[in-house]
Structure 1
């Protein structure tokens, strides 16, 4: 009887975590109010277990991870195709549109504890130095994350 109760409770807890998972969409845009070559939203807070789907508005965009928390899921979307990733670790995730890398087309996802924020900032500075446009964009996104985290 006790074992059966324990299994029932464990089943409900597992179901609750699945039920609470959310789905988000990030658009890959040529132009928006935020400028040229942007992800919208560019900064996204999610929970571990949530899924993010990247949706290209034309064939010239993709979404590729650049930096994730250690051991986290990675992704490499194909140009012009949707790609989804389930966030499976707490921390900061950086991603880019590979064809528009030098235009600073980057985005940030973050979930839970941000133990890797400093490392993400180091990565952002390294990449931003290579941009020919929107040089402060990615660093600015991480400043937004840092403000929320405090």
Structure 2
């Protein structure tokens, strides 16, 4: 679903949206706010690239970061829940991953964890292994996937 369709569907259902982004650096928020009139649906985006920003802006637990690492479903869940709570919206998506170059055997390039938080529902997470496609491609694919998660949640 295109960003304009996501916004229209959210608008029709009275759903407001926030994003919490790390490796995409605001690309999901940009895709939504590229659409004129998005401000009645899109509330804010948290760009939390550093661990300190994740803790300060979203309330991610330092213990979770230490135990699971920034690129983990546990952190994605806490990021999405923190965005939902701090923005007071109905729906929030989070992204944390390794866009590249680099990575490790344990956390390879192209691994991206997503969180989705909706008011009144359990926060969920998933991991997609995009592979070592290059930084720009991984970031674009992660943005598209996050938009897809929003679309599914709204529909």
Same fold (TM over 0.5): no
Q: Larger relative contact order (C-alpha < 8 A, sep ≥ 6)?
A: 2
Higher-Rg structure is 1
Q: Please state which structure has a larger fraction of its residues in helix.
A: 2
TM-score by length of 2: 0.27
